[in-house]
Amino acid sequence: MIFEKTSIQGCYNILIEKHEDQRGFFGRVFDEKEFQKNGLKTQFVQSSISKSLKKGTVRGFHYQVEPNSECKLVRCIRGKAYTVIVDLRKNSPTFGKSDGYEITSDNYAVRYVPEGCANCTQTLEDNTDLFYLTTGYYSPDCERGIKWNDPFFKIKLPLKVTNISDKDQNWKPFDPDTCLT
């Protein structure tokens, strides 16, 4: 496994090391010892899947606050998606920064989203499926979000937004003083 640091402190792109032969290949996408060696949380308690029917669909930005804040692993199991992570931690040296990366069913990359960061995805193909593991249980009371085009972050997605939920379209403007409360 290759743990590739991103421009956000504590956020990683995790790439598999392929062991190939005539059958194809084998590679690990999770190894508790390797995660811990890199200082990453490993106590995943919930897994989820999303299916987006249309290219250009946006989900997010999503995150949770205490007592159910969470780290998240995001992997594309079908299709292609562009993921953006923003750092909401006021005491972080990378506060306010964003990091984008393409995950596909062909590159097998996994994004590690640390606590205090929000994640957004935009599908780059029709019928894109994403798989999530989280260290916290979903809690509607702790759920928070940021509109994908909030001017504070100046995010540029690769495609025109073709589909977005009313909830994601109507998040309140980002407030750095209250975002993690």
Confidence band (pLDDT; 50, 70, 90) for 68?
very high
List own/partner pairs for 96-101 with CB under 8 A and 24 or more apart.
96/152, 96/153, 96/176, 97/7, 97/8, 98/8, 98/153, 98/154, 98/155, 99/6, 99/7, 99/8, 99/11, 100/155, 101/6, 101/13
What is the CATH number for 52? 2.60.120.10
Q: 165: domain range?
A: 44-169
Residue 49, beta-bridge partner list: 131
Count the domains in the chain. 1
Average pLDDT estimate for 53-59: 99
Domain assignment present for residue 21? The answer is no
Q: pLDDT (tens digit, 9 = 90+) per residue, 85-118?
A: 999 999 999 999 999 999 999 999 999 999 999 9
Instruction: Judge whether residue 132 has pLDDT over 90.
Output: yes
| Alpha-carbon distances of 97 from 53, 122, 171, rounded to whole Å | 29, 18, 19
What is the structure's pLDDT at 164?
98
Catalytic residues: 62, 132
Instruction: Judge whether residue 72 has pLDDT over 90.
Output: yes
Q: pLDDT (tens digit, 9 = 90+) per residue, 15-43?
A: 999 999 999 999 999 999 999 999 999 99
Domain assignment present for residue 63? The answer is yes
Cα 172 from Cα 118, distance rounded (Å) = 14
Instruction: Judge whether residue 181 has pLDDT over 90.
Output: no
Tokens 């097998």 correspond to what residue? 108
Confidence band (pLDDT; 50, 70, 90) for 133?
very high
